[in-house]
Amino acid sequence: MSHSTPPDCEAKSTSTLPEQPGVLVIRKHHFLVRLSHWLNVPILFGLILSGISIYWASPIYQHKPDPNTGNVDVAADIGIWICAHVPGLHHYSSAPDWIYNHMSLGPGMLGLALRLHWLCAYLFMLNGMVYVAGLVIGGGWRSLLPRRTDLLDALRMFRYYVGFPFAKLARREWPHPVFNTKYNALQRAAYFSVLVAGFLSVATGWAIHKPMQLHWLAALFGGYNAARVWHFWLMLIYIQFVVPHVILVFADGWDTLRSMIVGWSTRVERSEVLANEQ
Amino acid sequence: MNNEGKGDIPSMGVEPEVKSISVKKPQSFFGERLLPAIEMAPRILRYQSRRDFLGFGAAALAALAGAGFLLPQETLSRIGIHRNMDPLGKEWFLNKALRLDDDVAEALYSANRSVPTYTKSQITSLKNNYNGATPDPGYISGWKLTLDGLASGLSVSLDIRNLLTRFSLHEQITRLVCVEGWSAIAWWAGLRFDDLLRTHPPMSQAKWALVESSVNLDASGNPDPYFMSLDLATAHHPQTLLATQFNGHPLTLDHGAPLRLLVPVKLGLKNVKAVTRITYVAEEPRDYWAERGYSGYDGI
């Protein structure tokens, strides 16, 4: 029997806890939550890439036809602008397709993109059910619910993040706001809203996919055309969630990333044990 | 310290001893519970970590392989993966997914559910969306609608005057939704497909209609007959018309004069322009766009 305690555990527990031969951990994420969390990565990739290929066939954002090229697509304009202003892209062969060549499966493959989109959409719905099942079985859903104090706490966290680089530069102490919860208010807002966004993506997706049989659903979002706009912006919400999500996980450290794979975390400072000690 | 043997606890199933006393505060159902800190033997943690990292790593590789399998050739070439041919089974698999979606669409269809109708002020413009070139108007004067696969065993030909005098016209302002994503609201009038089915009943075992236009052209103007499968359940829908009028006037060449299929519970590509033949069959017939990688059912 090994009596060696990992150093990080020792450092955290010596002051308040009697010496333990094992490692103190909390079970942070249920297996089904971890599984569906990672499955979302390839599924959302597939949905977004095929989705933008579908968007190509009939862009939501159009203007009057360009007198020279006949182009109506704002996304094509952005591609043309990029190719004109980014060094090295001046001779890009199909500037209007730049966005589609780099952010979708590609232009001109609607039939294939639709089939991939349906495949990924059904997987996304199944995966969403697995995620919700994991939240319910593991009890994690309670940690995601918004609270009345969240607005103020979120502002405190926001102030912390904004001030963090300056405090580092000035070598000033910049303590992390203390919360007695699994997530801080900003995290909670982000995770909860991305869950809602997932639900709305599915709902608007069905509204676009079956605007006649489910016309009440399309009407709920303001009609067929409005549901397409919703569906598009929900995709952008994922992207603006994922970027800081990935940055912050790496900034937060190995324990956080590992906990989404193995389920447990050695960060027990906010656990029940210490709450009892306080 | 009396923790000898702890390392022998099997990894899952047996709860490791909980070292804390739970908080006895009354808690609301929605209130967040503090996570209990549990003591685990490092050996078990190492074993579980190894297992989970290997498992998730294998799944990540499988996902990559799946992406390589499913992504289109052009997309893969663009990121530097060159392959000479699509793997066998890819089309089969993607069509399987499409089939599932078609089954869902068919389950959602209800003969009694009407599509929304609009007022004249909501009418939008509808472009000429002939996939290829627009046919030469010469065909219109000699146009006939031929019906095959009838209960009588005969082939019936009807000209436009015949159709307009024998059937009553129905008007509707409905939305036409294209597979590409755009849609248009237009005011249509025509005879009900259901009425045609009543006066010229199909053979008893028929489940499908093959709707064809022999005047359709490809992009360079060569003959490219258009053919569409339509399930008879949809053909019977009261809003499925054989339209002869568009926005209050007889159909123009652009919109499939003198008669087009108008089936608002289907995607626009099922709304065959300048229909020349309808054949009732028992098995699902060929379909122009299904042969090009699109859905064959197209219920919306």
Q: What is the CATH number of the domain that holds B181?
A: 3.90.420.10
Kindly report each contact of residues B140-144 with a partner whose C-beta sits within 8 Å and lies 24 or more positions away, as own/partner: B140/B253, B140/B257, B140/B258, B143/B258, B143/B259, B143/B274, B143/B276, B144/B276
How high is the pLDDT of residue B1? 39
**C-beta atoms of A42 and B98 within 8 A:** no
The domains of chain A are located at 140-277
Q: Does B101 reside within a domain?
A: no
How high is the pLDDT of residue B24? 53
The answer to whether the Cα torsion of A180, A186, A187, A190 is positive or negative is: positive
How high is the pLDDT of residue A270? 62
**C-beta atoms of A119 and B70 within 8 A:** yes
How high is the pLDDT of residue B183? 95
Q: Does B215 reside within a domain?
A: yes
Q: Does B10 reside within a domain?
A: no
Q: Is B62 on the interface with A (CB under 8 A)?
A: no
pLDDT digits (tens, 9 = 90+) for B49-94: 999 999 999 999 999 988 888 888 888 888 887 766 566 778 888 8
DSSP-derived secondary structure letter, A4? P
Q: Does B60 reside within a domain?
A: no
**How close does chain B come to A147, measured CA to CA in Å?**
9
Residues of chain B positioned with their CB less than 8 A from the CB of A116? 70-71, 94
How high is the pLDDT of residue B228? 96
Burial of residue A151 (CB within 10 Å: 0-12, 13-18, 19+) is exposed
Residues near B166 by beta carbon (within 8 Å), at least 6 away in sequence: B199
Q: Does B152 reside within a domain?
A: yes
> Residue A90 corresponds to which tokens in the numbers above?
């001046």
Q: What is the pLDDT along chain A (278 residues), one digit of tens a residue?
A: 344 444 444 444 444 444 557 889 999 999 999 999 999 999 999 999 999 999 999 999 999 988 888 889 999 999 999 998 998 888 888 889 999 999 999 999 999 999 999 999 999 999 999 999 999 999 999 999 998 888 899 899 989 988 988 998 999 898 888 888 888 888 999 999 999 999 999 999 999 999 999 999 999 999 999 999 999 999 999 999 999 999 989 988 899 999 999 999 998 876 554 444 44
How high is the pLDDT of residue B161? 93
How high is the pLDDT of residue B209? 97
CB A160 within 8 A of CB A174: yes
Longest dimension (CA), chain B: 102
ipTM of this predicted complex?
Answer: 0.86
How high is the pLDDT of residue A222? 96
Q: Does B133 reside within a domain?
A: yes
- Closest CA relative to residue A198, chosen from A143, A123, A271: A123
DSSP of A137-185:
HHTTHHHHS--TTHHHHHHHHHHHHHHHHHHHHTT---PPPP-SSSS-H
State what percent of residues in chain A have pLDDT above 70. Answer: 90
Q: Is the pLDDT of residue B194 over 90?
A: yes
**C-beta atoms of A142 and B75 within 8 A:** no
H-run or E-run covering A61: none
Question: Pick from B6, B38, B70: which is nearest to A116 by CB?
Answer: B70
pLDDT digits (tens, 9 = 90+) for B8-37: 444 444 445 555 555 555 578 888 888 888
Distance CA B166, CA A126 (A): 51
Question: Pick from B4, B45, B183: which is nearest to A225 by CB?
Answer: B183
The residue in chain B having the minimum alpha-carbon distance to the alpha carbon of residue A20 is B39
Name the CA radius of gyration of chain B, rounded: 30
Distance CA B288, CA B280 (A): 17
Residues of chain B positioned with their CB less than 8 A from the CB of A228? 181
How high is the pLDDT of residue B4? 41
The 3-state secondary structure of chain B, one letter per residue: CCCCCHHHCCCCCCCCCECCCCCCCCCCCCCCCCCCEEEECHHHHHHHHHHHHHHHHHHHHHHHHHHHHHCCHHHHHHCCCCCCCCCCCHHHHHHHHHHHHHHHHHHHCCCCCCCCCCCHHHCCCCCCCCCCCCCCHHHCCCCCEEEECECCCCCEEECHHHHHHHCCCEEEEEEEECCCCCEEEEEEEEEEHHHHHHHCCECCCCCEEEEEECCCECCCCCECCEEEEEEHHHHCCCCCEEEEEECCEECCHHHCCCCEEECCCECHHHCCCCCCEEEEECCCCCCCCHHHCCCCCCEC
Q: The domain containing residue B168 runs over which residues?
A: 113-292
**C-beta atoms of B35 and A28 within 8 A:** yes
CB A92 within 8 A of CB A83: yes
How high is the pLDDT of residue A88? 87
How high is the pLDDT of residue A68? 84
List all residues of chain B from 115 to 154 with a beta carbon under 8 Å from chain A: 115-116
Q: Does B190 reside within a domain?
A: yes
How high is the pLDDT of residue B78? 83
Task: Compute CA distances B9 → A1, A28, B3, whole Å.
Answer: 12, 21, 11
pLDDT digits (tens, 9 = 90+) for B108-161: 999 999 999 999 999 999 999 998 899 999 999 999 999 999 999 999 999 999
Query: What total number of domains does chain B contain?
Result: 1
> pTM of this prediction?
0.87
Q: Is B227 left (phi over 0), alpha (psi -120 to 50) or beta?
A: beta
What's the average model confidence in pLDDT over B209-225? 94
**C-beta atoms of A118 and B97 within 8 A:** yes
What is the DSSP pairing of strand B260-262 with strand B249-250?
unpaired
